[in-house]
Structure 1
């Protein structure tokens, strides 16, 4: 019983310093930063696979740097792999639940995939975190207002009716 107040104070001090250290942003490892820059240049040139390779190499060097996941998700969306992008966004959100860029990116990927209601849910989450005036909220709201992209029709979707005719 004599140690309870001291233990409570000590655990509170540890909790405060842990949350401050967790919330503080940091720079990536120098080699990872170079690879991230290389990936951004490749993506800007339209070379999505080289960008993905550079980002994955950066992730191998500095796996704790969350913005790499956002870059990987961006590259996956550029490669029309929305499901993979959503996975990267969710991994980023597991690390940083209030990451506005990850919430907005996931919302846009969901919209591209056709999940309009889930994208609206992300918009509501963004509005509650940063309001209607923050850039992430406005960008997602504009995308939702424009609606999901039209789906590409596949050959299987337009199969002709099978009619058998008899010729004499």
Structure 2
């Protein structure tokens, strides 16, 4: 068994700074980073700088797409049809993938953020549509999810590789 020390990164955007340099200090201690992709946090410049630092330190990166919720930091549930949610996630994935590709870095994983992560843990239609699209676009891309969640079961059923994760302070009743 391997242990992956994973952290959310690159959550500043525009004039708003989150963490005041904590990303820079923390990056040296993790093995993978979830890079905010602009809808809940992050912006293109922050994404680029986060990728540069991860590359320098040998930290794997993944897309961290969220609901369209900059004001609520992606923690508020947004009602949307499964296709709209998946379109938004693919848009964010593509943005990070291209910024990484310019630097010769491949994405290792995708980990939805906040309320979107919890939505996909329960919503079969959205979870299935996302995994089906990943199978067409990035069949080797690791998908971070909670064990026993709907998205984890669907990913395993369809052959998308998963990383089962946990939070020490989270309730896992789905």
TM-score normalised by length of structure 1:
0.34
Larger strand proportion, structure 1 or 2? Answer: 2
Larger helix proportion, structure 1 or 2? Answer: 1
TM-score normalised by length of structure 2:
0.33
Tell which structure's C-alpha radius of gyration is larger: 1
Higher relative contact order (CA 8 A, sep 6+): 2
